[in-house]
Amino acid sequence: MNSCIDLRLLLSGLFLFARARSYNLDVRRAQSFSSPQTQRHFGYRVLQVGNGVVVGAPGEGNQTGSLYQCQPGKRSCLLVNLSGLNYTSKYLGMTLVTDPADGSLLACDPGLSRTCDQNSYLSGLCYLFTQNLEGPVLQGRPAYQGKYLVVTVLLSSCPSAGTSLSRPRTVNQVPSFLISAECIKGKVDLVFLFDGSRSLEEKEFLKIVDFMKDVMKKLSNSSYQFAAVQFSSSYKIEFSFLDYVKLKDPDVLLGNVTHMRLVTNTFGAINYVRVWASHCKQIPNPFTTLCIRLYMAISSLFFFCLFVCLFLFPPASPLCIANPRPSPSLSSGYTVTWLPSQRSTSLLAAGAPRYQHVGRVLLFQEPKDRGQWRQVQNIDGTQIGSYFGGELCGIDMDQDGETELLLVGASLFYGEQRGGRVFIYQRKQSAFQMVSQLQGDPGYPLGRFGAAMAALKDINGDGWMDVAVGAPLEKQGAVYIFNGQRGGLSTQPSQRIEGSQVFSGIKWFGRSIHGVKDLGGDNLVDVAVGAEGQVIVLSSRPVVDIVPELSFFPDEIPVHEAECSYSASPRKKEGVNLTVCFQVQSLMPHFQGRLLANLTYTLQLDGHRTRSRGLFPGGTHKLSGNTAVSPAKSCLKFWFHFPVCIQDLISPISVSLNFSLLEEGTPWDGKVDRDMEPILRPSPHSETKEIPFEKNCGEDKKCEANLRLSSPARSGVLPLTSSASLAVEWTLSNSGEDAYYVQLGLSFPLGLSFRKVEMLKPHRQMPVSCEELPKESEFLTRMLACNVSFPILKAGGSVSVQVMFHTLLNSSWGDFVELNATAHCENEDSGLLEDNSVTTHIPVLYPINVLIKELGNLYPLFQVRIQPSAYDHHVPTLEALVGVPQPHSDGLITHTWTVQMEPPVTCYREDLNRRPSAAEPCLPGVQFLCPIDFRQEILIQVIGTVELLEEIKASSMHSLCTSLSISFNSSRHFHLYGSNTSLAQVLMKVDVVYEKEMLYLYVLSGCGGLLLLLLIFIALYKVGFFKRNLKEKMEADGSVPNGIPGEDHGPLVAPREEAKDLGTLEPIHPDEAQGGSDND
């Protein structure tokens, strides 16, 4: 049996709004019960009895306590009848215990007193009720009555007149009935341990002696036996029990007491008396064997009595249990719980929350064969003031009769901004060891987590007991539910219920808890929770599991549905049909009711990928909806298709289904009964299934590929320039079945940097990608991994890829660049890998910058400038090639050539026996080979001599072309700016002029010229050219005085006539002059 004795506290504080973590305790349909008299402490203790809840309501002020019976079906609470008993106190209802065997109830009132042997004892009174609570069938007080056991812890205080009882606790193994009995006599041995040190004055010492005499006289007619021990630095027995039996006169027994007057050793004296008086006398009694050992210590400053623990047992096992180390702060028995065991020894756990200010739990072993109870273990707290042991709870996790766990509450524990803690101890053999801890939410340093604990019958249907822990000062109060599991309790709460989530204005929610019965008629455990002035009943919701089922048609995706197609395909694309089925499976077989719920679901295609390979109608890869589910299978049908081109045709497409039950709001399906709304167990509510692509692997469904890798015989050269790039081509073919995830691995030197890759065959549009792998320091190469099939290389197919690289300027180069390529796939046999690798060597060409400039005017003069290479540190071998024409054998002229260089170099003549043509006018016939040293500047002069071979008869023109080029090793070097920059040509035109004898012609011509001149002179003379006198003639006529014409005279000569001959001074012939006069 599992039970918890709850620590009852009067709590106060500030409470704010809170919310609950939802699992299977229904907070939306909670029932609330309150006292008709609105008692504040109504709900201090709750207990499920029969079909209702018994509520303890201790009184406040002068009010007396009450018991109420609340019926959830009637939603009312009635006062429990005590059969006319009017001697109750305000403490009634602080302790309630039930017997699960017959449902009887034991309720105790610790505030009642009784008188025995002229002494008043605040021992309380207990009432035993049957299950129907019609009235107490028996009443009993703490003592041995009949053959049943009632255990009470009595804390006494001296020297007050009365003895007070503080918070009695009863062992939760309740008897079937109690027999009322009066005071039972019992032999009591009382030892006076009084102070005799020198700190006491003589009159104070005598007062102590008088006090002892007075006590002995008042109890002279009782069953008490006395002894007295004086202590200082040593100890002295003034009189023993045997002395008192012989002579009961206090004056005589204490008449010879003398004051010791030494230093004080109080603790040594207590230990001395404990050892000396440790033997418990057995006094026959007709009803029981009662053994009491009472130690009374008296000093000058105070009188105090160590607490007395009364453990009353049946006659078969008489026992007297005292604390091994008595202490006023021990409070052993403040809480007790029974830890039964069928395979081992049952234990009794007693809490002492004030022990040494840190608290302690004591474990006692049940005696066998009328033996004595034996303390077997102490469990100490760790934090001062934590009230460790204030609550105890034993749990039989699997209901097999063995108590596996002991929960110890420390409601005042503080740490990590959390108030209160519950320590879990697991039984291993005969001892309990701490295995874990339970704690509330942070932010409530005064939350009192662990102030109440209760073992709940399995409320979630997993077969393990669950635990409820109250934290009444976390805002308006909270209750945590911890589910059992294999090996113990889960340390994470499955549900946190805050008082404000249940009802507004509630306080101290969670100060008492009980949940072992069904109060609603659905065979599900309900939980009663006490609060300030009310009791809340939370119903359990049926926990179910949804069994999903996914199916596809077709079972495999045809490749033609999703592969990249670059031409029209006659095959129609059908897509995939998807069927989703749901079925409700109850995890609580005892549940009586109809299971029907609203379910929301989400379907997602390729949810783990950034880009989905499947699409639902509308182009989305996710689809959501709602449906009603029940124990009968219900199915939904869907359809999805594929994008135009899918790269990955090997990995199956995943279809994920996530679902949950609708919790809040109005149900969208009216058929669902809200009163029976189930809840899913807290497990992953999802299902994932994969649909594969079909494989072209023959009947055995096992593809065996056979790859072959090749590269062209000539893959070009690598000229080293700042912008140089290298393009290399490889061809990969598959002569076997479909190859999956074909990759091309490349290794290349550090001087190359990967630029891009492209597919040459069969289509440039086919995707191909390469990824450079991290460089490893011990290797002088880089690695490249290229996916060239994406992801299937079909049987009989081949692809050609071209990879381009950049060159790095700061690298060293050799004569060749070596590239190693290896092809591999997932399904090629290891014996077919011989032709999967190929090595390609690319010649490296170093640049040479040669510039030739023609400088000569009269004869060819060339200036050669050579710029060294930044990549090649070796001196190249250079040679100047001077080309000159070769004379014709049948020509009229001949020419000879010489080459002069600065610095001087010996050149070698080589006859090429070639003649220029119209297409190649500068084709040299003779070539001079001049080896030159590597210099930055060279001057080359070409001198040619032209001679006539015979006499010519006519003029002619001849062209002579000379050229210069620089030759080097073309397998290692190349012209940086092209071959034209290292070639210069000079085309010379030679005119051959034919000259005749012309002297006689010159003489005759001169003579003829002189003769003609003479004839002209004579003719001029004859016409009077040299004899004209115009001036004299004008003066003689007098027409112009002084030779100057006057203003009044008209023009002397007409303009036309004057214009005719302005330079003639006189007429050449007389008739001309006469004619002129006539005209005037």
Residue 312 has pLDDT above 70, yes or no: no
Whether residue 136 has a cis bond before it, omega within 30° of 0: no
User: Among candidates 163, 46, 57, 183, which has minimal Cα distance to 109?
Assistant: 57
Residue 1064 has pLDDT above 70, yes or no: no
Between 355 and 1026, the more confident residue is 355
Residue 100, both tokens: 């699960």
Residue 88, both tokens: 């109750």
Q: Residue 770 forms beta bridges with which residues?
A: 786
DSSP 573: P
User: How confident is the model at residue 436, as a pLDDT?
Assistant: 95
User: Among candidates 463, 514, 510, 454, which has minimal Cα distance to 484?
Assistant: 463
- Per-residue pLDDT reduced to its tens digit, 968-1008: 888 888 887 776 666 778 877 777 777 777 777 888 889 99
User: Among candidates 487, 364, 367, 369, which has minimal Cα distance to 431?
Assistant: 364
**DSSP secondary structure of 597-652:** EEEEEEEEESTTSSS-S-BBTTTBSEEEEEEEE-SS-EEEEEEEB--S--S--SSP
pTM of whole model > 0.85?
no
Between 1033 and 538, the more confident residue is 538
Residue 1080 has pLDDT above 80, yes or no: no
Q: What angle do CA 158, 159, 161 make, to 5 degrees?
A: 105
Say how far apart CA 144 and CA 151 lie, in whole Å.
9
DSSP 359: B
Average pLDDT, the chain: 78
CB 293 within 8 A of CB 274: no
User: Among candidates 158, 492, 116, 468, which has minimal Cα distance to 308?
Assistant: 158
Residue 1059 has pLDDT above 60, yes or no: no
- Per-residue pLDDT reduced to its tens digit, 137-189: 767 665 433 323 233 222 222 223 232 223 333 333 333 333 344 566 667 77
Lowest mean pLDDT among 28-32, 80-84, 302-306: 302-306
Lowest mean pLDDT among 299-303, 558-562, 742-746: 299-303
What domains can you pick out in the chain, each with its CATH number? Answer: 188-251+269-280+283-317 (3.40.50.410), 544-564+574-691 (2.60.40.1460), 708-845 (2.60.40.1510), 855-992 (2.60.40.1530), 1029-1080 (no CATH)
Say how far apart CA 1076 and CA 1033 lie, in whole Å.
12
Say how far apart CA 77 and CA 514 lie, in whole Å.
17
User: How confident is the model at residue 917, as a pLDDT?
Assistant: 78
**pLDDT band per the 50, 70, 90 thresholds, residue 671:** very low
User: How confident is the model at residue 765, as a pLDDT?
Assistant: 64
- Per-residue pLDDT reduced to its tens digit, 14-40: 233 333 345 789 888 889 988 767 678
User: How confident is the model at residue 140, as a pLDDT?
Assistant: 67
Residue 560 has pLDDT above 80, yes or no: no
State what percent of residues in the chain have pLDDT above 70: 77
Lowest mean pLDDT among 206-215, 770-779, 1058-1067: 1058-1067
- Find the mean pLDDT for residues 262-276: 81
**DSSP secondary structure of 650-699:** SSPEEEEEEEEE--SS--SSTTS-GGG--EE-SS--EEEEEEPBP---TT
Distances (CA, A) of 654 to 86, 646, 952: 76, 15, 101
User: How confident is the model at residue 781, as a pLDDT?
Assistant: 84
Residue 298 has pLDDT above 70, yes or no: no
Lowest mean pLDDT among 255-264, 484-493, 911-920: 911-920
Say how far apart CA 226 and CA 211 lie, in whole Å.
13
User: How confident is the model at residue 300, as a pLDDT?
Assistant: 36
User: How confident is the model at residue 673, as a pLDDT?
Assistant: 45
CB 742 within 8 A of CB 707: yes
DSSP 949: -
- Find the mean pLDDT for residues 884-900: 80
User: How confident is the model at residue 658, as a pLDDT?
Assistant: 94
Residues 6+ apart with CB under 8 A from 834: none
Distances (CA, A) of 797 to 82, 425, 569, 739: 98, 70, 18, 10
CB 656 within 8 A of CB 604: yes
User: How confident is the model at residue 535, as a pLDDT?
Assistant: 93
1018 φ, ψ to 5°?
-65, -40
Residues 6+ apart with CB under 8 A from 161: none
User: How confident is the model at residue 386, as a pLDDT?
Assistant: 95
- Per-residue pLDDT reduced to its tens digit, 225-244: 889 999 898 889 999 888 89
User: How confident is the model at residue 568, as a pLDDT?
Assistant: 53
Distances (CA, A) of 956 to 675, 895, 989: 127, 16, 11
Residue 440 has pLDDT above 90, yes or no: yes
- Per-residue pLDDT reduced to its tens digit, 329-351: 555 567 888 898 888 888 989 99
